[in-house]
Amino acid sequence: MASSKSKPSAGEISSGIDELAGAVAEKCNMADAAGGDTSVASSGATTQGAACLLVLGMAGSGKTTFVEKIQTYLTARQTPPYVLNLDPAVRHIPYQVNIDIRDSVNYKNVMKKFGLGPNGGIITSLNLFTTKFSGVLELLEKRKQQVEYMVFDTPGQIEVFTWSASGAIITEALADAFPTVVVYVMDVLTGSSPITFMSNMLYACSILYKSKLPFVIALNKVDLIDPTGVLRWITDFEAFDLAVEQEKSYAGNLSRSLGLILEEFYGAIKTVPVSARSGEGLPQLFKAVNESIEEYNRDYKPELEKMKEEQRKMKQQRAAARLERLKQEVLETSSASTLTTPLHQARKEAVSVGVFNDPDEGRGSQEQNGDDDNREEESFKRFLDSVKKGREKYS
């Protein structure tokens, strides 16, 4: 993983963008995704437009398997989803993909070009892909009346997406354009210890507060273990407190305190036990997802519009203040100057540093050209006269 070269600078990245990030292309059309049946694709048309499901979760929690299962589930219900893979390092994807980051960015080339390790390569590939994300949005915009859900599979290393600038840009761009819900896939097997359960919940909580988007936890792999105990920890603090009592370590005490703090967070999320392998729990999951979409339209969208309006007003105010300051400066400078006006002075300075050509200079040379022409005409006339006189003399 160690790399001899340092991480790429912003300049290096931008110079490599066109070389390494190809155009974003739709891999297959909806008919392909629906298994070749065009009637399936068209019957999934919606009047409201599609919602985005951002599938996040820790490495190995089952995100990719979950995306595959929901594609099968929704296709069987005549509403095939539009599926995007944002993991540049995945070797094999078991679902039919519509847009695949790997078609635009070659993760291995990125690692080689910038001398990066695997994680740096994934982050830089995602950054490169994000520079082309407006192209993705255009493709999604075209599809939004034909599908109900647009599902995003994300990189294995959760922080690559949740704490990177490109992850934030993608999330905000999607949430701005479509109803967007975070589906956090949590492995119930690793979450069955109170300490790992708590770290998983802290992660989920941090994503909720960062994205402020409606949030559903898919408590995955319930075919392997009964999730009742873990579910009770979410709804009943005393049950969690009892489980954590067995942990005499510092982590145990910390988890108990955090459990109290997170009670408020638990109230803001929906938790649904599912199995990405068997498909168990998917109807309940989509019930929670649909409620979250309503929540987005009811609470999130108006809040977003309000924020955008405030930002627009602030920008206007800032521009007006800047203009006022500039006017003030111009007035002060012009009253202080006796010989030249500030604008004239500024123009002279700009000419002296080569910002633009002095138009006066151009005008002068034009006048000079005109004088030369007149002189030439007069001298030609004089020549003709002398020729005429010579002829008369010798005739």
Ligand X SMILES: Nc1nc2c(ncn2[C@@H]2O[C@H](COP(=O)(O)OP(=O)(O)OP(=O)(O)O)[C@@H](O)[C@H]2O)c(=O)[nH]1
Q: 281 φ, ψ to 5°?
A: 85, -5
Q: What is the nearest approach in angstroms of ligand X to the Cβ of residue 69?
A: 8
From the list Mg ion, ligand X, none, partner contacted by residue 167 (C-beta under 5 to 8 A by kind)? none
User: What are the tokens at 180?
Assistant: 């967007």
Question: Looking at 64-72, 127-135, 238-246, 283-291, which segment touches Mg ion (CB under 5 A)?
Answer: 64-72
Closest to ligand X by CB, 126 vs 244, is: 126
Sequence-distant (6+) residues with CB within 8 A of 278 are 223
User: What are the tokens at 218?
Assistant: 């898919």
User: What are the tokens at 353?
Assistant: 């540093």
From the list ligand X, Mg ion, none, partner contacted by residue 65 (C-beta under 5 to 8 A by kind)? ligand X
Closest by Cα among 288, 290, 24 to 149: 290
From the list Mg ion, ligand X, none, partner contacted by residue 127 (C-beta under 5 to 8 A by kind)? none
Q: For residue 5, give the 3-state DSSP assignment.
A: coil
Q: What is the nearest approach in angstroms of ligand X to the Cβ of residue 205?
A: 19
Extended strands (E) in the chain: 51-57, 82-85, 99-100, 149-153, 180-187, 215-220, 270-273
Closest to ligand X by CB, 57 vs 191, is: 57
Closest to ligand X by CB, 165 vs 224, is: 224
Question: Looking at 62-70, 170-178, 206-214, 300-308, which segment touches Mg ion (CB under 5 A)?
Answer: 62-70
- Tell me the residue number closest to Mg ion, measured at CB: 64
From the list ligand X, Mg ion, none, partner contacted by residue 20 (C-beta under 5 to 8 A by kind)? none
Beta bridge partners of 185: 57, 218
Whole-number Å distance between alpha carbons of 204 and 234:
13
Closest to ligand X by CB, 159 vs 294, is: 159
Q: What is the nearest approach in angstroms of ligand X to the Cβ of residue 228?
A: 17
Task: Determine if residue 41 is left, alpha or beta; phi over 0 gives left, psi from -120 to 50 gives alpha, anything else beta.
Answer: alpha
The alpha-helical segments, DSSP class H, found in 53-187 are: 63-76, 101-104, 107-114, 118-130, 133-143, 158-162, 165-177
State yes or no: residue 64 binds Mg ion (CB under 5 A).
yes
Q: What is the nearest approach in angstroms of ligand X to the Cβ of residue 38?
A: 29
**Whether the Cβ atoms of residue 104 and residue 21 lie closer than 8 Å to each other:** yes
Q: What is the nearest approach in angstroms of ligand X to the Cβ of residue 113?
A: 24
Closest to ligand X by CB, 37 vs 223, is: 223
Place of tokens 């009253």: 335
Closest by Cα among 244, 57, 232 to 152: 57
Q: What is the nearest approach in angstroms of ligand X to the Cβ of residue 239?
A: 24
Closest to Mg ion by CB, 63 vs 256, is: 63
Closest to Mg ion by CB, 161 vs 240, is: 161
Whole-number Å distance between alpha carbons of 101 and 103:
5
State yes or no: residue 157 binds Mg ion (CB under 5 A).
no
- Chain residues binding ligand X by CB under 6 A are 57, 59-65, 87, 156, 220-221, 223-224, 275-277
Binding site for Mg ion (CB under 5 A): 63-64
